[in-house]
């Protein structure tokens, strides 16, 4: 790529997308536009409009775009370069040390939001166990504003990102705690209407295919024992303690783990365990109810 002062944005995007495609990035053109948006402080739509109007890049802008493309070609996650990750209506701050929220987790959030909104209480309580960036908890707090949300995160690095997002995006109805979800919420026993979690669920001997995941997501946010279900076993027991009668648990898991998750929940005493597909028709979320 070049830093010629007469380089057009269109040419820069085409060259950048070619570099990313060569590096194995599936959505190379999309990522190039998003990196240009970051460099130029525009929306993606603004970048597309600037291409139509024939905008040029000056040498400083071109150099910054080249640098961003080079980092992405090294398979640094796009969100680590831009510092932002979209989640539902939110734009979360993310970076090294925190799991980058995925679109499929929006399905989990929707089940939790619907369940919380349906609780016949003026101030229902939900918990997010292992909140990471705060994505699920903040979605609950902003989309069910009359509810009280408590989120817990054990990683100090992830907790700092969550605290930043909670301070910026919520309005006093979300409490963030630092600690293990196994024992951090004893004061909420039998009070919780919705227990939500996107826990680690990758088996210990499984190696994620994508370098962005394998090299940059925190290991403690990925792996959970030989079958990937150790944290879900803990969350099932903790959730049963926290939930009141009629309370719901909502768990994300791998597409092959639905039966195992239902078996864990049912053995622990949850009822009506059911697994739900995401938008790509892969089993992704399991729910159950405390009797």
Catalytic residue set: 99, 198-199
User: Of 163, 159, 148, 230, nearest to 194 (Cα)?
Assistant: 148
Question: What residue spans of 59-199 are helical by DSSP H?
Answer: 59-73, 78-82, 105-117, 135-143, 156-169
List Cα–Cα distances, 245 to 36, 112, 113, 191, in angstroms. 51, 16, 18, 9
Distance of CA 12 to the CA centre of its chain: 30
Question: What residue spans of 104-155 are helical by DSSP H?
Answer: 105-117, 135-143
**Helix or strand (DSSP H, E) at 273:** strand 271-277
In angstroms, the CA 246 to CA 289 distance is 6
In angstroms, the CA 63 to CA 70 distance is 10
- Copy the structure tokens of residue 172: 């006093």
Question: Which string of b and e fits 80-101 if b means at least 16 CB within 10 Å?
Answer: bbbebbebbebebbbbebbbbb
Distance of CA 156 to the CA centre of its chain: 17
- The answer to whether the Cα torsion of 93, 97, 98, 99 is positive or negative is positive
């Amino acid at each position: 790529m070049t830093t010629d002062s007469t380089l057009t944005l269109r040419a820069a995007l085409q060259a950048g997308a070619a570099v990313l495609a060569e590096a194995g990035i599936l959505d190379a053109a999309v990522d190039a536009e998003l990196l240009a948006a970051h460099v130029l402080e525009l929306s993606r739509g603004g970048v597309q409009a600037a291409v139509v109007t024939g905008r040029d890049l000056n040498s400083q802008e071109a150099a910054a775009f080249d640098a961003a493309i080079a980092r992405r070609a090294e398979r640094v996650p796009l969100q680590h370069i831009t510092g932002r990750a979209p989640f539902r209506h939110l734009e979360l701050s993310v970076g090294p040390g925190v799991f980058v929220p995925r679109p499929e987790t929006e399905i989990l959030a929707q089940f939790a939001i619907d369940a919380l909104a349906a609780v016949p209480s003026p101030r229902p309580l939900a918990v997010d166990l292992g909140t990471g960036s705060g994505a699920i908890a903040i979605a609950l707090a902003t989309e069910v504003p009359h509810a009280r949300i408590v989120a817990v995160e054990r990683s100090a690095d992830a907790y700092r990102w969550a605290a930043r997002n909670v301070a910026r995006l919520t309005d006093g109805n979300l409490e963030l705690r630092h600690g293990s979800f196994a024992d951090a919420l004893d004061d909420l026993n039998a009070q919780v209407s919705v227990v939500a979690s996107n826990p680690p669920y990758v088996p210990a001997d499984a190696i994620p295919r994508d370098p962005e995941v394998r090299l940059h997501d925190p290991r403690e946010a990925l792996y959970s024992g030989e079958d990937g279900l150790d944290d879900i076993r803990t969350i099932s027991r903790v959730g049963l303690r926290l939930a009141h009668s009629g309370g719901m648990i909502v768990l994300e898991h791998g597409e092959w783990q639905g039966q195992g998750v239902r078996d864990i929940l049912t053995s622990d005493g949850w009822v009506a365990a059911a697994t739900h597909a995401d938008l790509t028709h892969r089993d992704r979320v399991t729910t159950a109810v405390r009797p």
